[in-house]
Structure formats: C-alpha cells, structure tokens
Amino acid sequence: MPESAVVPVLTYPDVPAAVAWLSATFGLVERLRIGEHRAQLRCGEGDVIAANGGGERREPGAGAVSHSIMVRVEDVDAHCERARSHGAQVLLEPTDHPYGERQYTVEDLAGHQWTFTQTTADVAPEEWGGELVDA
C-alpha cells in the first residue's frame, strides 16, 4: 500500500491508457501495476490509484462532478502549459486567489477534475473570510 494517509481511487475505462496519459500530462509516476485493471501512481508526496470500473465504480458522467483532486505543484503556470500541450481540457486558467494560492483546474481523459495549486503568499484565513478552527 502507498504510504499516503489518503489515497484517491479514480476509475478509468482503460487503466494502461490512463497511466500513460496521467504520466505524460501531469507528471505522475507509476509505482505499481496490477494486471491491466489497477495501478498506483506517485503524485508529488501523495499517491493516486487508477482502477477499472465495475460494480458501483464508474467514470464521471457528462456534466457531473462528484469529486475533484487537488495537487500541490511548484509552478502552476508551467504545469498548466504541460497539461495543455498534452491535450488536457483546461477548465479554469491559472488564477491568483485571495487566500494565497495560484490554481488552475483541468479535466482528465475520463472526466475527473484536477486542481493544481501553488502557494504564492501566507495569508491569514481571517483576511479572506475563513476561520482557523484547529491549529
């Protein structure tokens, strides 16, 4: 099992094709493959599992977003250009947010949404309408 405390499992109709696309487009690194139906990928300091559908698991439907994945990167703009050059559909261009993050959102080949984020400033939550509950 991956060492990450939280490991998202994303469903793809073709796991080998998804692994190739996620590696080329987002820079994920395949760590383990189980046949043609499952793979673990390193995603920065975290992990993601790509798995075939079946049972209750299936890819997102058109216009339906049940979840998204957020990943910290060093350079959002360069990452976005890499994703775009591999044909990823950019849903939100790199944007600076008042909470000190620069982010962009992209849809992968199966319709999963990914937001890539880069910290640009250390901003207290109270400055943008948040509230730190547990430090």
pLDDT at 65: 72
Q: What CA–CA distance (Å, rounded) separates 32 from 1?
A: 10
Question: By residue range, what is the domain housing residue 115?
Answer: 9-54+66-127
pLDDT at 10 over 70: yes
| Inside any domain, residue 101 | yes
| Inside any domain, residue 1 | no
pLDDT at 5: 77
| Inside any domain, residue 38 | yes
Q: Report pLDDT digits (tens) over 93-120.
A: 999 999 999 999 999 988 899 999 999 9
pLDDT category at 126 given cuts 50, 70, 90 is very high
| Inside any domain, residue 47 | yes
pLDDT at 115: 96
Task: Please tell me the pTM assigned to this model.
Answer: 0.85
Q: Report pLDDT digits (tens) over 11-60.
A: 998 999 999 999 999 999 999 999 999 999 999 889 999 998 766 666 66
3-state secondary structure 16-39: HHHHHHHHHHHCCEEEEEECCCEE
Write the CATH number for 82. 3.10.180.10
List beta partners, residue 99: none
| Inside any domain, residue 132 | no
| Inside any domain, residue 121 | yes
pLDDT at 55: 63
Q: Please give the tally of structural domains in the chain.
A: 1
Q: What CA–CA distance (Å, rounded) separates 67 from 59?
A: 11
| Inside any domain, residue 134 | no
| Inside any domain, residue 108 | yes
Instruction: For residue 127, give Cα distances in angstroms to 8, 57, 123.
Output: 31, 40, 7
